[in-house]
Amino acid sequence: MIEGERRMLAHDEAPDAQPLEECPCQEGMFPTGRRNVLVAAGSALAATLLGSGRAAAQKAPAGAVLRDVAEDPTKEPGVAIAEDGGYGSRSQFETARRVRVTVPLTSPISSWTMTPLDAGVGNLTPSGLHFERHHGGIPTIDPAKHALFIHGMVERPKKYSMADVKRFPSVTRTHFIECAGNGLTEWKKPTMKTVQGTHGLISTSEWTGVQFATIAREIGLKPGASWVLAEGADAAVMTRSIRSTSS
């Protein structure tokens, strides 16, 4: 994890950073002789003649769409309205990103990503930068087929579709969420170099949803029911217990 952060920082700080991993597919991509150097120089000159303000040869940051940058935006129209298909993307000049942690106990489907807290502005975390913790990969769940089952010490066990849940009154609140393992690399001694690496498993968002108390009144909790065991629908079928505040 520490080595991964070090490589990420070195890659980001390099003015002409190349891909972090070498691969045979790169053979012949970079000039090695006089002829190749001349070809590369000619290509660079052509790119300069096309305009230094153009971004066509660059790579768009994650979640962004790369567009040409006008020398003077007051004299050149922007892109067509609704050209994005009706759903916006972030600015191509915003480069902050989450970083997936790679340590011996993790895998591509069981790991976590860290929020770039040092790059944040304000106290709300953009949804695309909210930290993640997955134990069985990121699930793809169709809301039209997903359901909420409530049973146990209740008068009326029920199954609710997502459309049913949305019919209940909802509330909107701002809450932060922190992973229990936040800062685990720093428990014995300082190791990481950025606040993203040391405390990136915490994010603050605005949440809208139906309170459990609302549904609990609908199904009728039995006397003595003081714990809720929530079970997810992902591949890990994660469970977490929550104690009732009224018990």
Residue type, 194: T
The percent of residues above 90 in pLDDT, for the chain, comes to 64
pLDDT of residue 22: 52
pLDDT of residue 3: 67
pLDDT of residue 244: 75
pLDDT at 52 over 80: no
DSSP E strand stretches across 151-238: 158-161, 171-178, 202-209, 227-231
pLDDT of residue 64: 93
pLDDT at 155 over 90: yes
Read off the pLDDT band of 26 (50, 70, 90): very low
pLDDT of residue 57: 54
Average pLDDT, the chain: 83
CA distance 185 to 200: 11
Kindly state the average pLDDT of the residues 88-117: 91
pLDDT of residue 44: 44
Q: Within the chain, how many helices (H) and strands (E) appear? A: 5, 9
Read off the pLDDT band of 50 (50, 70, 90): very low
pLDDT of residue 164: 97
pLDDT of residue 102: 80
- Token pair, residue 48, equals 């300069």
- Residue bearing tokens 């997936």: 100
Which of 198, 184, 207, 62 is CA-nearest to residue 129?
A: 62
Which of 6-10, 34-38, 44-48, 121-125: highest mean pLDDT? 121-125
Which of 213, 222, 220, 214 is CA-nearest to residue 242?
A: 213
- Distances, alpha carbon 94 to alpha carbons 161, 163, 219, in Å: 38, 36, 46
pLDDT at 9 over 80: no
CA distance 77 to 83: 13
Asked if 238 and 135 touch (Cβ cutoff 8 Å), the reply is yes
pLDDT of residue 56: 45
pLDDT of residue 11: 64
Asked if 63 and 128 touch (Cβ cutoff 8 Å), the reply is yes
pLDDT at 163 over 90: yes
pLDDT at 4 over 70: no
Does 185 or 24 have the greater pLDDT score? 185
The percent of residues above 70 in pLDDT, for the chain, comes to 76
Read off the pLDDT band of 2 (50, 70, 90): low
Read off the pLDDT band of 106 (50, 70, 90): confident
